[in-house]
Structure 1
C-alpha cells in the first residue's frame, strides 16, 4: 500500500510526471512496447493526460498497430486541435493506415498552423498524389520547397557552396540528411555540390532522389534536365522537360527549357512552335527572338531567320550573340547602318567591359564579318583579332598537352598493335563518321551523303567523344599508367559493349529506316583508332581543306561551344599539324581504311569525287547526291546556308585577302602547308 501510494504521488507530481514522460519517450524508437506500457501506467494515474495519450499513440504506430493508433489519436486531435505534435501524429497514423482523407485533413490543418515546416507540406503532397489530386500535390511540394528555402541549415550550406567552400557545405548537408533522410531540398543542394565538383554520377543520383521525394520540386527537375543535357541523355531530358512544362506554377522558362531539349534532339519544328507561341504572348523578348532565329536558320528559312535576329537586336541593341548570328548567315551582308549600330553598341558596353566580355567579342566578330563583306580587310582583320584575343582569354587550351595526347594516339594505333588486338567490337555497319577540322567542307560532304536514299543525316553527335573521355578518365584517375595500357586492356567483349553503347545512344537521332547514318562530329579525328576497335565496320571520311583556308575560316568563326583551339592563329595552325600527323599515322597502320575528301577537288570535279566517295561506302551512285542543295533537311552548322546552294568556288582562295597578317599561322603550319594536299615526311 505504501509503495502504491508513493507511485501515485510520484505520477501526479508535475516534476516526476515530466520525468516519467521523458523516460517513456526515450524508449519509443527501439522499445515501443515498453514505451506503451509506461504511457498506459501514467494514464492510470493521470487520466486523459494529453502528453501521455500522444505517447501511447506514437508507440502503437511504431508497433505496427496503425488502426488502434489512428482511433486514439484522431480522438485526441478533436480536443487538441491546436497542438502541432498531435496533428502531426494523426497525419502519420492516418497515412500509414491508408486513411487518405484523414491524413489530408490532418496535414491541411498542420500546414495552416505551421506553414514554415517543410515536412508537413511534403507529406501532404504525397497523400494528395495518392488521392489522384495531381495539381494540389504539386502545389504542396512547391510550398514545401518554399518553406525549405528559409531553413537556416540549408541557407548555411548554400552560402558555403556559393563561396566555394564545397567540403563545408557537403558536411552540413550529409549531417542533415542523416537526421532528416527524406529532405528533398537537402538532396538537391548536395547534388549541386557534387555537380560543381564534376561528379556527375553522384549529382544525378541525388537530384533524382530529390524528385522521388517531391515530384513537384520544379527547381530540382529543371536542374535535372540540365544535367541530363550535359550527359547527352536526351530522351530522359525531354521526358522531364515535358513534365516541368505541365507544372501548375506556369513559367516561360519551363517552355524555353523544353525547346532547348527539342533543339538538341533535332526536332526544330516543335521548338519553333514553342518560341512562336511565347512571342505571340509577349513579343518583347530578345532572347526568344534570337532562339527562334537559330531554329529558322537550321530549317533553311533564311528570310525569317534574318527577321528574327533583327527583332532581337531592335529590342536589345547591344545583344552581341544576335548580331553575330545575323552576321554569320553566309548569305547576309551587313551594311553601313549595321556597322554604325554595332559600333554604338560597343561604345555603350565600354563602361562595363569587364562584365560584358561575351557581348563585346561577339560584336567584334560581327564587325569583322561586316568589314570583310565591305572589302576592308585590314579593318576586318583588326576586329576579328580583337574578338579572338578576348575569347582566347576566356577559354582553356593547352597546345602542348594536346599535342602529347595526339602523339600518344599515333604511337598506340600502329598496324602491329591493331593486329595484336585482333577481332572485336560491334559489327554494325551503320555509322559513317565524317572527321576533320571545322570549316573543312564536312557539312558539304554530309549534305551530299544525306541526299542518298540509304543514308540518314543526323548532326554533330557527341557520343564518341563522351565514350573516349570516359576511357581517358581511367588513366587520369590512376587506374592505368598511360593511354596505351588502357586501350590494351579492352577485351573483345569490352569493345563489343562500347560499340553497342554508341549505336544505342545515337539511336535517338535517327528518324528514318535508312540503314546508314552520318555522325559529323569533326573532332572525332582524334578517336579514329577507338572507332576502328569498337565499330570495325564503320566508315570514316576525312574532309580536308587547304590549311590556310581552313584555319583562317575557323579563326574567323566564333563557335557556340568547344573548339577552344580556334581563337589564336598559332594554336589553330598547330592543331592542324597534329591532325594531319595523326591521320597520316592511321593511313600507315591501315591503308585505305579512311577515305579522304579534298575540298578543292570536290569543288573542281564534284561528280568524280562523289562517285569515289560512294564507291568507298559501297553505295550505288544516285543523282540526288549531285543535287544535294535541294535537300530540305535541317542543318545546324555554320555552313547551313551554303549547302543549300550549288557548289561555288569563291571560298577556295579567300585566305589571300588576309595574307599580310597570316605570319603566325604560316609559321605554325610549317611543312604541312607546302606539302598540301600531300603529307610531308616530317611535320617538324
Structure 2
C-alpha cells in the first residue's frame, strides 16, 4: 500500500501507536492538511491520550464545523474525559452531518445505553439496522422492527422474501415479527434458515437465543449463546440474556451476580438497576432490591417499571411524597404508555394502602385499559374450551388410557387462578424435606400448545407410546430445575388447570392441588396486578368473571369424572385453620406431616412470583376481605361471576 494516508488510517484499528507515528510524519510534511491531524487525534484517543487528542480536535472542529468524522472523534474524546453531555452533542452532530456514518451511530447507541437514554438508544439502533441492510425494503423493515412497529414491518419483509427467499437478513427480521406475535415456531424456522445461509451471523444467532428464552427453553438458549459469549465475553446484551436463562434454570445466585456486575459497570442505566432489583427480590434481599429500584427512579424518574416494582413488593414501600411524584408524572402527556400503565398500577397500590379505594380503583382501571391495548389481548372462547374438555375427557376415555403414561409420582401440580394463594401453598410444601419447590414451569403448557396446533384429534388419536413420550419429555425438561435431590417437586403454573386431562394421561400418578379463593377476592387481586406476561383475562372485570367460571367448570368436571384426582384446598380455610388444612394437604400429596411446613416463613428459598414477600411472613387474616372496600366498583365482576358467587365452594 503506497498511499501514506491509507497506511496511517488502516493502522488505527490494530496498531494505533504505529498510526500515531505515521500521522505525525504526515502532519510534519503537510501541516495545513486536516486529514493527518484527524488520524493523529484518533490514534491518540485509541491509546488513552484524550487530552492530547482534544488539542487537535477542538481547532479542527472550529475550522471544519461540517466534518462529521471530526465531530465523531471529538464526541468520543469528550465522553472519555467525563464530559458526557458535551460528547453526546458532538455525536448527535456527527450523525446529522453524515447520516450514513455507522461508527457515529454505534457510538451514540453505546453511549445512550451506558447513560440509560432508552429513546436515543432506540433511535440510534434503528438507524444502524437501516444502514446495515443491502436493500432499501429490508432497511425500512429493519428500522420498523427495531422501533417495535412489527405490524408495519411484516408485510414489507414478507413481500421481499417472496422474491428473495434466501435473503438471510430479511428472514431474521421477519422472525423478529413472529417473536413479537409469539409465533415462536415460525420464528425459529426462519432464524435457523438465516443461520444456515450465514453461519457467522451474530444477530441471527442472538435472536434465536432470545426466541428460545422467550419460550422458556433456557438450556437451548444458552447453547446458542455460548459461541457469541466466547467471541465477546463483555457484551452486556449477552450477559443479560445469560442472567435471564440462569434465573429460569433456578440458579438465582448466578443470575444475581451477573446483574450485579452489569449494574456496577453501567451505573447510569435505570433498566439495569431494575433488573438487578428483580434478581435481588427473588433471592429475598428486599432492602437491596428497594435500593436498586430507588436508584433506577433517581436516574430516570419516568421509569414506570421501577415505581411498579416498589409497589409490587406489597410491604408499604411507597411514601406520600412518592404518590405526589407519580401524580406529577402521570400529568405529563408525553409520558409513554408503557410507563404510564406501570405508574397507574403503582399509584393504585399507593392509594389503596392509604385507604382511598375509589382513587385506587380508578388508577387500576386506567392501567388495565392501557395493558389491554398495549398487549393486544385476545380472549379465548372459554365456553367452547370447557365443552371440548368435557367431551374429550370422559370417564371411559380416561379409564382406557389409565396406564399409558409414565408411572412417576414425583410431580406435584399446584394450579388455580393467579393470586389465589398458590405461592403460599408452594412455600408450605417446599418446606417439607421430601418436596422441592421449583417455579411456574412452562413445559405442560408448551406440550399442550403443540398438540393444540395439530388439532383436537391429536390427543384422541395418540397412542400409548405417544402419551408416554409426552410424559417423559415433561419429566426430562423439569429435571433441570430439581437441584435438591428430593423425591417430589412442585410445578406451580396456575393455568395448568386447563391441562388437567393431559396431566392425567401423561403422568397418572402425579398429585394435583387446586388452590381456590373467594371469587371476588381472587379476581380483584388479579385485576390490580400487572403481570409480567400472559394472564390476558386479568385486565377486565368481565373477563375475570368469565375466567373464574371457566376454571370452576374444568375443576368440577375432573372431580366428577376422576374422583380424588384433584385435591381442592380453600385458601380461606387454610388461613382460618392452618394446621388442619396443611395436614390434609400433605396427606393428599402422599407425605407424612412435618412441623417445618407450619414454619414455612423461615424457608429462605428463592421465590419468583409477586407474592414473594408475603410468603416470607406468617399467615395473616387481614387480607381476606380487602376486596370489600371496592365492592361498589366491582359490580361488573359480581354480575359476570353469576351463581359462582354463591356456589364457588361446591
What TM-score range do you get, normalising by the shorter chain? 0.7 to 0.9
Q: Which runs of 5+ in 2 are unaligned?
A: 1-127, 145-151
- Counterpart-to-counterpart distance in 2, 1:599 and 1:193: 41
Change (3 A) 1:402 1:208: same
Q: How does 1:162-561 map to 2 (within 5 A)?
A: 162=153, 164-174=155-165, 176=166, 185=169, 188-189=172-173, 192=176, 200-201=184-185, 203-208=187-192, 210-211=194-195, 216-248=200-232, 250-348=234-332, 350=333, 352=334, 356-397=336-377, 399=379, 401-475=381-455, 483=456, 485-561=457-533
Q: Contact conserved, 1:218 with 1:247, CA < 8 A, in 2? A: no
- The alpha carbon displacement at 1:206 in A equals 4.8
- Counterpart-to-counterpart distance in 2, 1:497 and 1:283: 48
How big is the alpha-carbon RMSD for the aligned residues of Structure 1 and Structure 2? 2.5
Q: Contact conserved, 1:156 with 1:169, CA < 8 A, in 2? A: no
- Counterpart-to-counterpart distance in 2, 1:394 and 1:336: 29
Question: 3-state SS of the aligned residue for 2:164?
Answer: helix
Aligned to 1:478: none
Larger radius of gyration: 1
More moved, 207-216 vs 237-246: 207-216
- The alpha carbon displacement at 1:339 in A equals 0.4
- Counterpart-to-counterpart distance in 1, 2:261 and 2:568: 45
Aligned to 2:27: none
Q: Contact conserved, 2:428 with 2:597, CA < 8 A, in 1? A: yes
- The alpha carbon displacement at 1:317 in A equals 0.6
Aligned to 2:622: 650
- The alpha carbon displacement at 1:397 in A equals 4.7
Change (3 A) 1:194 1:438: closer
- Counterpart-to-counterpart distance in 2, 1:169 and 1:215: 22
- Counterpart-to-counterpart distance in 1, 2:385 and 2:189: 32
- Counterpart-to-counterpart distance in 2, 1:243 and 1:546: 51
Q: Contact conserved, 1:154 with 1:173, CA < 8 A, in 2? A: no
- The alpha carbon displacement at 1:489 in A equals 0.8
Q: How does 1:50-61 map to 2 (within 5 A)?
A: none
Which digits, 9 at most, give the CA deviation of each residue in 1:121-154, with x for residues without a partner?
Answer: xxxxxxxxxxxxxxxxxxxxxxxx9999353388
Change (3 A) 1:578 1:152: closer
- Counterpart-to-counterpart distance in 2, 1:273 and 1:614: 36
TM score, norm. by length of structure 1: 0.71
- The alpha carbon displacement at 1:361 in A equals 1.1
- Counterpart-to-counterpart distance in 2, 1:388 and 1:296: 27
More moved, 430-439 vs 657-666: 657-666
Q: Contact conserved, 1:407 with 1:582, CA < 8 A, in 2? A: no
- Counterpart-to-counterpart distance in 2, 1:597 and 1:231: 31
Question: 3-state SS of the aligned residue for 1:169?
Answer: helix
- The alpha carbon displacement at 1:491 in A equals 1.4
Which digits, 9 at most, give the CA deviation of each residue in 1:236-283, with x for residues without a partner?
Answer: 212333432333484322222222222222222112112221222231
Q: Contact conserved, 2:284 with 2:606, CA < 8 A, in 1? A: yes
Change (3 A) 1:600 1:191: closer
- Counterpart-to-counterpart distance in 2, 1:604 and 1:401: 36
- The alpha carbon displacement at 1:543 in A equals 0.4
- Counterpart-to-counterpart distance in 1, 2:387 and 2:526: 23
Which residue, out of 576, 593, 606, partners 2:578? 606
Change (3 A) 1:513 1:361: same
How many pairs were matched up?
515
Which digits, 9 at most, give the CA deviation of each residue in 1:75-97, with x for residues without a partner?
Answer: xxxxxxxxxxxxxxxxxxxxxxx
Q: Contact conserved, 1:426 with 1:496, CA < 8 A, in 2? A: yes
Which residue, out of 552, 557, 562, partners 1:580? 552
- The alpha carbon displacement at 1:414 in A equals 2.2
- Counterpart-to-counterpart distance in 2, 1:296 and 1:249: 23
Which digits, 9 at most, give the CA deviation of each residue in 1:402-441, with x for residues without a partner?
Answer: 2211221123212133224443111111110001000000
More moved, 570-579 vs 388-397: 388-397
Question: 3-state SS of the aligned residue for 1:587?
Answer: helix
Question: 3-state SS of the aligned residue for 1:509?
Answer: coil
- Counterpart-to-counterpart distance in 2, 1:194 and 1:657: 43
Q: Contact conserved, 1:170 with 1:193, CA < 8 A, in 2? A: no
- The alpha carbon displacement at 1:670 in A equals 1.0
Q: Contact conserved, 2:154 with 2:177, CA < 8 A, in 1? A: no
Which residue, out of 131, 144, 151, partners 2:134? 151
- Counterpart-to-counterpart distance in 2, 1:226 and 1:637: 22
- The alpha carbon displacement at 1:188 in A equals 4.0
Which digits, 9 at most, give the CA deviation of each residue in 1:45-84, with x for residues without a partner?
Answer: xxxxxxxxxxxxxxxxxxxxxxxxxxxxxxxxxxxxxxxx
- The alpha carbon displacement at 1:533 in A equals 0.8
- The alpha carbon displacement at 1:213 in A equals 6.5
- The alpha carbon displacement at 1:386 in A equals 1.3
Question: 3-state SS of the aligned residue for 2:514?
Answer: strand
Question: 3-state SS of the aligned residue for 1:326?
Answer: helix
Change (3 A) 1:233 1:420: same
- The alpha carbon displacement at 1:190 in A equals 6.5
Do residues 594 (structure 1) and 577 (structure 2) align? no
Q: Which runs of 5+ in 1 are unaligned?
A: 1-144, 178-183, 476-482, 679-684
- Counterpart-to-counterpart distance in 1, 2:184 and 2:561: 36
Q: Contact conserved, 2:141 with 2:157, CA < 8 A, in 1? A: no
Do residues 627 (structure 1) and 611 (structure 2) align? no
Question: 3-state SS of the aligned residue for 1:626?
Answer: helix
